[in-house]
Each structure stands twice: as C-alpha cells, then as structure tokens.
C-alpha cells in the first residue's frame, strides 16, 4: 500500500508541554483549527488519552459530526487520532533550542484514500495545517493581556 502523508512543520517558540496540553484538550481544537471546519466538541473528555474517543461538530459546506479515537499518545511528544475512515491526524513535538519543532500530518494511506485525490484534499489539508501551526503559536506566544494592568 502506498504511503500517502501530507505534513507541515513549524518551529513554535513555546515549550512542548504547553503545545501538547493545547492539543490534548479537545475544547481548544476549534481555536487552533486552520481549516475552519472544526466547530466544537459534541462529546469529549476534558483531556485526551490513549484510546479516548471524542466527537466534534464539524462544517465543510454542510454540518456534520465525526467521532475520533486517540491512537497514539506520548506525553509532550506525540498525539494522534483517526475517525471512521481511519485517516490519521498526528502531531509530533520535538524540543529544540528556542522552542518546539511541531509537525502536523494527515495520513490517508488506507486504500480508499485515493478517492480523495481528485478533490485536492491533501494540498488543502497542508495549507490548513500551516494555518493551524500558526494559530497554535499565536495562542501560546501572544502577550498576556492582563500583564501590566
């Protein structure tokens, strides 16, 4: 089976722990989503863990919801989940000087993944991932509005 993975990487000037905590909180996913399709959790634990299931209200032209399962979870290093189609969204965090190298990837290697190729989904996902990583950095590095008040 062909490996089909789209990814984006960014150096985020924040500790891996802070980034991981943001990713592990499904209530924050709509705040960081660069695609604009993630709305809010329908059902989710406060913090994700290996095997956790969470449902999200979504919108891509029409409203729908998806249920995801966390399939990788290494504290402050890796978190990944998939939905019913078994496509995997993964975040890998690597502490480096000056912050954390974060790679978000979308793995659509399942045989039915070819069905999305004509629609340009992989490239759209890469652009959305770049926006997501930018939003994560903005959220974690923006000056605290209450400082100095």
Question: Can you list the residues of the chain whose pLDDT is less than 50?
Answer: 146-149
Residue 149 lies in a domain: no
CB 40 within 8 A of CB 56: yes
Please tell me the predicted confidence (pLDDT) of residue 61.
Answer: 84
CB 81 within 8 A of CB 69: yes
Residue 146 lies in a domain: no
**Structural domain of 56:** 5-141
Question: Distance between CA 89 and CA 94 in Å, rounded?
Answer: 17
- CA 124 vs CA 68, 75, 78, 131: distances in Å: 20, 29, 23, 11
Please tell me the predicted confidence (pLDDT) of residue 147.
Answer: 47
Number of folded domains in the chain? 1
DSSP state of 28: G
Residue 147 lies in a domain: no
Residue 117 lies in a domain: yes
Residue 39 lies in a domain: yes
Residue 33 lies in a domain: yes
CATH code of 54's domain: 3.30.530.20
Please tell me the predicted confidence (pLDDT) of residue 118.
Answer: 52
DSSP state of 143: P
């Amino acid at each position: 089976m062909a490996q089909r993975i789209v990814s984006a990487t960014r150096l985020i000037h924040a500790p891996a722990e802070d980034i991981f905590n943001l990713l592990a909180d499904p209530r924050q996913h709509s705040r960081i989503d660069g695609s604009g399709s993630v709305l809010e959790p329908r059902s989710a634990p406060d913090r994700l863990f290996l095997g956790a299931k969470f449902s999200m209200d979504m919108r891509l032209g029409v409203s729908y919801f998806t249920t995801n399962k966390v399939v990788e979870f290494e504290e402050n290093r890796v978190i990944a989940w998939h939905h019913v189609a078994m496509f995997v969204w993964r975040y890998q965090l690597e502490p480096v000087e000056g912050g954390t190298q974060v790679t978000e990837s979308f793995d659509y290697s399942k045989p039915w993944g070819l069905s999305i190729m004509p629609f340009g989904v992989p490239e759209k996902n890469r652009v959305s991932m770049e926006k997501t990583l930018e939003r994560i950095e903005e959220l974690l590095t923006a000056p605290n509005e209450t400082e100095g008040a």
